[in-house]
Structure 1
Amino acid sequence: MMLVVKKLSAVKIGVISDTHIPERCEKVPAEVIDAFEGVELILHAGDLTSTAAIEELKKIAPVKAVCGNMDSLEICKNLPLKEIIRIGKFSIGLIHGRGNPKYLVDFVKNQFAEKPDVIIFGHSHKPMNEKINGTLFFNPGSPTDTMFAPYRSCGILEINDKIKAQIIRLND
């Protein structure tokens, strides 16, 4: 499935992953709600573990999400494993990720036949904002968990004639 957004002005997108609600947090943290003020779309890279996060985030903007490795069969039957979103001239691959975090970038890269301009992924809970061989690899981290990362985080993409990506560090 592919979502296409055609717009001439800048598009601001909230990016989130690994919410693990309610296991790690009762609801989407207030800092995320504040950070996503004014976004036109929210991309969730999986491990929702319940639909509560999507329901909360839908109050801000439309949400596209993919299934993560911790999501139940009930959640995964309604979500794809990966998706390509086109915004203007750019393509964004949205996927969760699997396996050893050491090989995560290679894993997510190899899941897309076409080479997206951006690959948004999760799984490791570790924020990443790095361009490798022309592709931006963007992991927003987790807004609810610091077990595998030094801080909680989410992200923002701003797209116009170029892509600007930002990791937002949340309060501890």
Structure 2
Amino acid sequence: MKKILILADTHMPKKGKKLPEHLLGVLKKGVDFIIHAGDWSEKSVYEELNLYAPVYGVKGNVEIDEWAKKLPDKEVFQAEHLNIAIVHGHLGKGRTTPDRAYQSCIEDEPDLIVFGHSHIPFMEKRDRIILFNPGSPTDKRRQKEFSYGLLTIDANEIQLQHHYFT
């Protein structure tokens, strides 16, 4: 069984000086790895998350530091039987962020596309592909609550859900 924390749009330290206590509680309980769909803002976010579990992530549209040049625009990897693609969602063709994410990853034949950019929690199935935006744990914008995602993979079953907090 794998437990995966899904984040995007942390925008730290501008929108949050530190990871929220709620999120730290999840990390301290343990996850197998972390997905971050961009807009970290600074390398320190990556470094802190990496203290808890291995991190897979992509570049967003706000990273300007030298370390961000090493981040890919897209990452595709296997977790158990699941083919996961990660993009931020600001690049590519499509009128909406989910459309851009879908179009930029479709050729990779993913089972799950994780994206960010809009700060809006989103989950939709298109054909056999699940599109998932965790929202933001530090910059909720017009959302009522902060959010993140948790993915559990157990044998051939997956459970993917948003978690909300104030």
Name whichever of 103-112 and 116-125 sits farther off.
103-112
**Aligned Cα root-mean-square deviation (Å):** 1.8
Q: What is the CA–CA distance in structure 1 between the aligned matches of 2:87 and 2:146, rounded to whole Å?
A: 20
TM-score, structure 2 length as denominator?
A: 0.91
Instruction: Note the alpha carbon deviations across 1:101-141, whole angstroms, 9 max, x for none.
Output: 96111111111212200000000001112222111111110
Q: What is the CA–CA distance in structure 2 between the aligned matches of 1:16 and 1:88, rounded to whole Å?
A: 20
For 2:16, the equivalent position in structure 1 comes to 25
Q: What is the CA–CA distance in structure 1 between the aligned matches of 2:103 and 2:95, rounded to whole Å?
A: 15
Of 98, 103, 107, 1:110 maps to: 103
The yes-or-no answer on 1:11 pairing with 2:5 is no
Aligned partner of 2:124: which letter? E
Unaligned ranges ≥5, structure 1: 1-9
Name whichever of 53-62 and 72-81 sits farther off.
72-81
The yes-or-no answer on 1:51 pairing with 2:46 is no
4+ runs deviating over 4 angstroms: 99-102
Aligned partner of 1:43: which letter? I
Given that 1:67 and 1:75 are in contact with CA atoms closer than 8 Å, whether structure 2 keeps it comes out as no
Given that 1:84 and 1:92 are in contact with CA atoms closer than 8 Å, whether structure 2 keeps it comes out as yes
Label 1:101 to 1:165 Cα distance change in 2 as closer, same or farther (>3 A). farther
Given that 2:76 and 2:108 are in contact with CA atoms closer than 8 Å, whether structure 1 keeps it comes out as no
For 1:79, the equivalent position in structure 2 comes to 71
Given that 1:129 and 1:165 are in contact with CA atoms closer than 8 Å, whether structure 2 keeps it comes out as no
TM-score, structure 1 length as denominator?
A: 0.88
For 2:164, the equivalent position in structure 1 comes to 169
Given that 1:98 and 1:107 are in contact with CA atoms closer than 8 Å, whether structure 2 keeps it comes out as yes
- SS at 1:18 equivalent: coil
Aligned partner of 1:21: which letter? M
Q: How many residues align?
A: 162
Aligned partner of 1:149: which letter? Q
Aligned partner of 2:157: which letter? K
For 1:63, the equivalent position in structure 2 comes to 55
